[in-house]
Amino acid sequence: MTALTSYLRGLAGDVVELSRLDSRVRGFLGGFMWRRAFVIAMGKGSVQMASGLEGLIEFEGGVVVKPRGSPGSVSGLEVIESSHPTPDESSLRAGEAVLEWARASRGGRLIVLVSGGASALVEKPLDPLTLDDVKAVTGLLLGCGATIHEVNTVRKHISAVKGGRLAAEAYPGEVLGLYASDVPGDSIDVIGSGPTVADPTTFKEALWVIERYELREALPWRALKLLEDGARGLAPETPKPGSLQLSKTRNELVAANIDVLRGLKYKLEAEGFNTVILTSRLEGEAREVGKALASITLEAINRGVPVGKPGAILAGGETSVKVKGKGRGGRNMELAFSWALTMWKWGSTEAAMLSMDTDGIDGFTDAAGAIVTPQVIGGLLDMKIDPYKVLDDNDTYTALEKVGALIKTGPTGTNLNSIQVILIA
């Protein structure tokens, strides 16, 4: 197992490199005819994406919005450090800035670069909402187990930036939106809440999300009233497909989780592993997904299905965690822990898993994720630590740190969702 875990630690570096966004932006724009444009970049990959424009586009002005404390800048563009995953006053400053630059580009050309994290980094609440309202809504949505599609359906209907509203501010100027996907299925209207994309969702659907997760009583009254007014047609909807305001806007996907998985498959096959990509759109409760991946691993070990030994099973996407405990953790750590626990229960020790977020940040921690084997559960039991209590308290970070299973890359400056790699000896 030491050989497998050592190999996976090296592979984590390949995940980060395969997730770089500057080369993907440059590759897309290499044959594009625009030579001058305003630029707005927002998200965890904003610096990398904007850097990909250097030497190709002459900047007429613009702004890069990046997570607070992340490195890098781009010559000729304003830089704003902002808050993630919950918006704060800096998010409001960023929201005002991107709207001002969009208006400045009217009659000209605007390139908008969007990566994961943009929803929190850039915010302008719709009247009469306050920042505290948006923070409360965001916290409730992120903690209830809702999918990113559901979370961003609500976000788009309480914001003056999201759901195509940013591009509408630039009309009648031309807008090119380039997106790096951090969402399962790569729907560009969901990435960063689609600030330049026609929104297919409605106020009614946003209200349905609130009802489904029983958040009505906890929701700030102004937010609930806005959603209810919108559902009754008393508040203006987000721009829809066919909207005149978006008629001069073009949007393209330039990078996605599947690109990383394909790169890993190529590398692993070259090194002798029988390799299969299960999916790039993994969703669901992290611990349940961990159990499902364990069942697939066991089939591979015992029956050679879906892949024979030595095998590599690849998956990616974005799971969720319904937080009930008071511990520290993240979706990747919880998924990996659940996988290891299920494998341990079945007495199988012939595999190892890497589960990490490409942005280098899993949950509210300094870890990107974890590298585990079933033996980590045995190590915890030797320390008199109950693995079931670890899951109940959502405290996987603490437990995995004790057995040396965490992987820490630091913020990577990109965000193409999570990656899972399972190696079978």
Give the number of domains in the chain: 2
Q: Positive or negative, the Cα torsion across 238, 244, 245, 250?
A: positive
Question: Do 333 and 202 share a structural domain?
Answer: no
Residue 107: half-sphere exposure toward Cβ, Cα within 13 Å: 1
Q: What is the pLDDT of residues 131-158, one digit of tens each?
A: 999 999 999 998 888 888 999 999 999 9
Question: Do 113 and 8 share a structural domain?
Answer: no
Question: Do 215 and 292 share a structural domain?
Answer: no
Confidence of residue 1 (pLDDT cuts 50, 70, 90): low
CA–CA separation, 47 and 181 (whole Å): 15
Name the strands in the sheet holding 418-424, side by side, starting at the edge strand that comes first in the sequence. 274-282, 311-317, 418-424, 351-357, 369-372, 406-407
Structure token pair of residue 287: 């611990």
CATH number at residue 277: 3.40.1480.10
Question: Do 163 and 43 share a structural domain?
Answer: yes
- Among the three residues 202, 237, 255, which one is the final residue of a domain in this structure? 255
CATH number at residue 115: 3.40.50.10180
Question: Do 125 and 273 share a structural domain?
Answer: no
What mean pLDDT value characterizes the chain? 95
pLDDT at position 19:
96
pLDDT at position 2:
80
Q: What is the pLDDT of residues 167-198, one digit of tens each?
A: 999 999 999 999 999 988 899 999 999 999 99
Percent of the chain at pLDDT above 70? 100
How distant, in Å, are the alpha carbons of 177, 368, 377, 383, 403 from that of 380? 48, 21, 5, 5, 7
Question: Do 332 and 246 share a structural domain?
Answer: no
Question: Do 221 and 313 share a structural domain?
Answer: no
Mean pLDDT, residues 376-394 taken together: 97
Does residue 289 register a pLDDT over 70? yes
Q: Reduce the DSSP state of residue 20 to 3 states and report it.
A: coil
CA–CA separation, 329 and 331 (whole Å): 7
Confidence of residue 85 (pLDDT cuts 50, 70, 90): confident
Question: Do 204 and 75 share a structural domain?
Answer: yes
**291 within 8 A of 326, measured Cβ to Cβ:** no
- Among the three residues 230, 255, 280, which one is the final residue of a domain in this structure? 255
Question: Do 370 and 397 share a structural domain?
Answer: yes
pLDDT at position 323:
86
Mean pLDDT, residues 46-70 taken together: 95
- Among the three residues 255, 282, 309, which one is the final residue of a domain in this structure? 255
pLDDT at position 135:
95
Task: Name the residue range of residue 295's domain.
Answer: 2-14+258-424
Question: Do 264 and 247 share a structural domain?
Answer: no
pLDDT at position 29:
85
Cis peptide before 374 (omega within 30 of 0): no
Q: Classify residue 391 by burial, with Cβ atoms within 10 Å: 0-12, 13-18, 19+.
A: buried
The pTM of this model reads 0.90
Does residue 30 register a pLDDT over 80? no
Does residue 31 register a pLDDT over 80? no
Mean pLDDT, residues 344-368 taken together: 95
Question: Do 242 and 94 share a structural domain?
Answer: yes
Question: Do 363 and 403 share a structural domain?
Answer: yes
Mean pLDDT, residues 22-32 taken together: 87
